Copies of this chain bind each other. A is one copy, B any other.
Amino acid sequence: MKITRNTIAKTEIRNLINSSKVALSHAEIQQALNNICDRVTIYRVLDRLVEEGLVHKIVNVDGVIKYAECHECAGEHHHHNHIHFSCQKCKSVTCLEDVEPFFNLPKQYKVMEMNFTLSGLCPQCS
């Protein structure tokens, strides 16, 4: 694995994601960071965090990618089989780490990643 360095941007972005109850988009992170770094740097830091297994990506129903903390992925491959909930009213995306769906897939398919997203109204908004 490639050597990575700890920088201010990386530390700040990681803290932001880890202290957030909901998944964050690039735009939301940029907003919160108050120009401590360039927007391209944010994209690159996020890529690194995903690479290192510290953060995982969620493709939201509108196609925008959100990022959330990983809990047991560091080092190894990501293995996220939990569901995400995207609220149509408050626009929040939440990891439901306890909710893992079951399904019967034909054996010929080789699964590398999963993306389960429900959308509707979250408990606060319904």
Contact = CB atoms under 8 A, between A and B. Distances in A.
Instruction: Give the size category of A's interface with B.
Output: 35 or more
Q: Which of A61, A108, A118, A122 has the most CB of B within 10 A?
A: A118
Contacts of A104: 99
B96 A123 contact: no
Contacts of A60: 59
Number of chain copies forming the complex: 2
Contacts of A126: 108-110
A32 to B, nearest CB: 21
B99 A102 contact: no
Contacts of A123: 106, 108-109
Given A63-B65, A101-B103, A113 B120 contact: yes
